[in-house]
Every structure is written in C-alpha cells, then in structure tokens.
Amino acid sequence: MTPRNIHRHTLANGLRLVTVPLHDTQAVTVFVFAKVGSRYERRSLNGVSHFIEHLMFKGTRRRPNTLAISKLLDGVGASYNAFTSKDWTGYYVKINHEHTDLALDILSDMLGHSKFDSQELERERGVIIEEINMYDDNPLMSIEDLFESTVFGSVHPLGWNIAGPRHVIRRVSRASMIGYRDRYYHAENMWVVAAGQLPKNLDAMVNRHFRKFPRRPTTPHFRPYRIPAATKTVRIKHKELEQVQVGLGTRAYGYTDRRLPALNLLGVVLGGNMSSRLFIQVRERRGLAYSVHTSVNPYEDTGTFMIQAGLEKTKLDGALTVMLEELKRIKQTKVGPAELKRAKEFLRGKMILDLEDSDSLASWYGRQALFHKKIEDPEEAMARIGRVTSKEIQALAKTLFRPSNMRLAVIGPFKQTAPLAKLIRRV
C-alpha cells in the first residue's frame, strides 16, 4: 500500500472536493457526503435524515421520477446507493470513468433539485415503516440499535434509531423535511469525493455541476455527547426466540481519538476473526454460541465497543460468563508479541483488500475529510497501528472494561434484568 496523490480543492461556494487517483481500474466512484445524520435530529424529527435520503431518489425537475434516474444509471451499468448514519449521509455512483460527467450530473441534480413530490412522499412513508418492521423482526439486524440505546441512553439522539419511530414517520410534514434538508444540504456542509480513474478535467466538471449549490453557513444542531447521570445497565427486548442475540460492551472513542488504533487491535484480539480469543473460547471449545465477534463503531466525539453473539437461549449465562472471563484476562495479562503481530497483520491485510476498489477508497477518504483536520492516508493509519504496544492495549482494557462501564442488550425470551446486571458486574 503506497501513499496516494490526494488532491483537495474548495469551490467558490465552499463545497469541498477530494480526488483520489487509482490507475489500475476503469471505474470511478463519485461519493457525495453531507455532514448530517440522525444525531442532528430532534425527537419530533427522528428519522428525517433517513427519510430525506429515500426521497432524493424520487425525482427532480429534469428527471421527474425514480425510473428516469435509474434508467440512465442502469443504462451504463453503474452501481449506486445511499447511506444514512448517525453522523453523516452519503450518496454514491460507481461508473465507467467515461461516464463520470453523468454521475456528477445525476448526483448534483438529486441533491440540489429533488421535488419531494407529495404523492411520492406519502408512498414512501409506508416503505420506511416496512423497513423499520424488517429490522424489528430480525434480531441479528436490530441488536446493535438496542445496544447503542443502552450505552447512550434515551435522552441523547445517539441513543435513538436512525430510521426513527413509526409515529414520526407517519406524521412528519413535507415542510418540516424540506426545512431540515435546506439546513444541511448546502455547499459548506457537503464534500464530493471522487476515487478511481479520474478524468483530467474533473475539477471543471465538479464546478459546473455543484457551483450553484447555495453557500449557507449555519450553526448545525450538533449536540456533543455528555454522559447522562444514569443509564440502564441492561436492556431486554422480549421476543420468543430459540436463538437470542446479545450485545455486550461499553462506550468507547470517536474518529480522531488517539486511542482508536489500540481499540481496533483490542477488538481483533478479542473477537475480530476466527482465531480470536472469544471465537475459540465461546464457540469452538465450549459450543456456547453460533456466532461471536467484536465491533468498534466510532462517531465524531464518542463511540462504542461491542461483543455480539447469537446463541441458544439456555446458554446465555454460560456464554456471558466466558466473555467476561476473557475481558478479565486481557486486563490482567498483556497480549503476547506473536498474538499482537498477528492482529496487526490482520488489520493491514484487511485494509489492503478493502481499499482495492474505488468505492471503498471514496468512502475512506470521505470520512477522513468529514472528521479529521488532516486527511490521513491508509499507510499512515497502518503506521499508527504498527506502533501500538501490548502495554497500551492492556491499559485500554483496564479503562474500558470496568464494571460500572459495562452495558448489555439482549433480544430473547427474558424479562428479568437484575440477574444479568449482577453478572456483568463481575468483569
């Protein structure tokens, strides 16, 4: 992995452009980021960031409906999608580099001129409610939401679901959505990232399509996370299941925190792959779970560390006991040199594979541009991981895995939280 010749440029209206050349491909990915997500919402608007993402594909003045947009992109074999997170919303088109101008034209048209047609909006309410139902009916998909609501509590929007509650989706007005869109979808709150085989006149193309976006400096409704006075240690979503889903972990660190490389390595050692400690101890040696893995999820100013497991309902206590024993062990004994080296090589190899494609590169550099003062090349990120010591990982584990920090979310046929709260205090 070698450093790339990254170019940054700011248009006259304040919109930022980041270009990432990749010469051994014929594809280009154009990714537009808006720094807005569900954490910017009020309760009465919870779910609106995601709703707006859906409506951006429903037609513009020039392309009056979804079919008009999709036919153009499908006609050249493009792939395209959008994502809403708690911190950002992104829209991308991956396309043959010869059609880069078409990708820029469609994205700028969607983001700048979507009609938010009243009939389409009413139809989409039902679509989003069905999406919410799908997540609710699938414990594997919804355990992360339950876990984060346990970690962050119900007061701060980081503890709310990105898709929002059904009653908001049913009632939120078109005027409220347009007002919210206009607050955040403007030049000074947007980034265009292009990665892949880049046309020589790309800067001029971007300027032509995005220069008319308004320059509208506003104070975003960003609420820094503050630890609440008290949150529930355990949350249970009662559901009659044979295989239950478990999320065990703690609040952790944001994108720019200097401890994030050590946290990523801690995650690999504990549950990042099929040779990790939890996979071997929980699944392979004891057969207590079908799946068990860790995830590190950073946000702008905080984050989460979670152990997720799917297991038979009668094995919950046994599996949690083994997980907690492994957390104790990594606090008490430093990770050995060979295990640490394997974890570092795993992260390096994974990053190299992940960043082979233009869409992954665009996503990486887009998040760098959103949350970092200086864009860090993947090689620089790997160098920071390479400098992490066993002592730092052990210190991090001691800081994170305190009994008072631990939170547990469970989806399954249980009702009593007290026994589980008592159990996780043993860490």
User: Please, which residues have CB within 8 angstroms of residue 145's CB and are 6 or more apart in sequence?
Assistant: 135, 161, 162
Q: What is the pLDDT of residue 366?
A: 97
Q: What is the pLDDT of residue 230?
A: 74
pLDDT at 4 exceeding the cut of 90? no
Q: Map out the domains of the chain as residue ranges.
A: 7-210, 234-424
Tell the CATH superfamily of the 234-424 domain. Metalloenzyme, LuxS/M16 peptidase-like (3.30.830.10)
- The mean pLDDT value for 24-44 works out to 97
In sequence order, the β-bridge partners of residue 91 are: 32, 82
- The mean pLDDT value for 5-11 works out to 93
pLDDT at 340 exceeding the cut of 80? yes
d(CA 149, CA 381): 30
Nearest alpha carbon to residue 198 among 110, 119, 104, 278: 104
pLDDT at 217 exceeding the cut of 90? no
- The mean pLDDT value for 28-54 works out to 97
Q: What is the pLDDT of residues 110-160, one digit of tens each?
A: 999 999 999 999 999 999 999 999 999 999 999 999 999 999 999 999 999
- The mean pLDDT value for 78-84 works out to 98
pLDDT at 329 exceeding the cut of 90? yes
Query: Is 0.75 topped by the overall pTM?
Result: yes
In sequence order, the β-bridge partners of residue 20 are: 195
Nearest alpha carbon to residue 172 among 221, 116, 218, 130: 116
- Name the active-site residue from 41, 53, 144, 148: 53
User: Please, which residues have CB within 8 angstroms of residue 287's CB and are 6 or more apart in sequence?
Assistant: none
Query: What are the start-end ranges of the H helices in 98-224?
Result: 100-113, 118-137, 139-152, 166-171, 174-184, 202-210
Q: What is the dihedral of CA 376, 382, 387, 390, to 10 degrees?
A: 130
pLDDT > 90: percent of the chain:
93
Which token pair is 415? 């009702």
| Residue 242 a catalytic site member | no
DSSP state of 227: -
d(CA 336, CA 108): 51
d(CA 151, CA 299): 13
Q: Which SS3 state, helix, strand or coil, does residue 315 take?
A: helix
Q: What is the pLDDT of residue 254?
A: 97
CATH number of the domain located at residue range(s) 7-210 in this protein: 3.30.830.10
Q: What is the pLDDT of residue 3?
A: 53
Q: What is the pLDDT of residues 151-206, one digit of tens each?
A: 999 999 999 999 999 999 999 999 999 999 999 999 999 999 999 999 999 999 99
pLDDT at 2 exceeding the cut of 70? no
7-210 and 234-424 have identical folds = yes
- Structure-model confidence comparison of residues 214 and 216, the more confident one: 214
Q: What is the pLDDT of residue 219?
A: 64
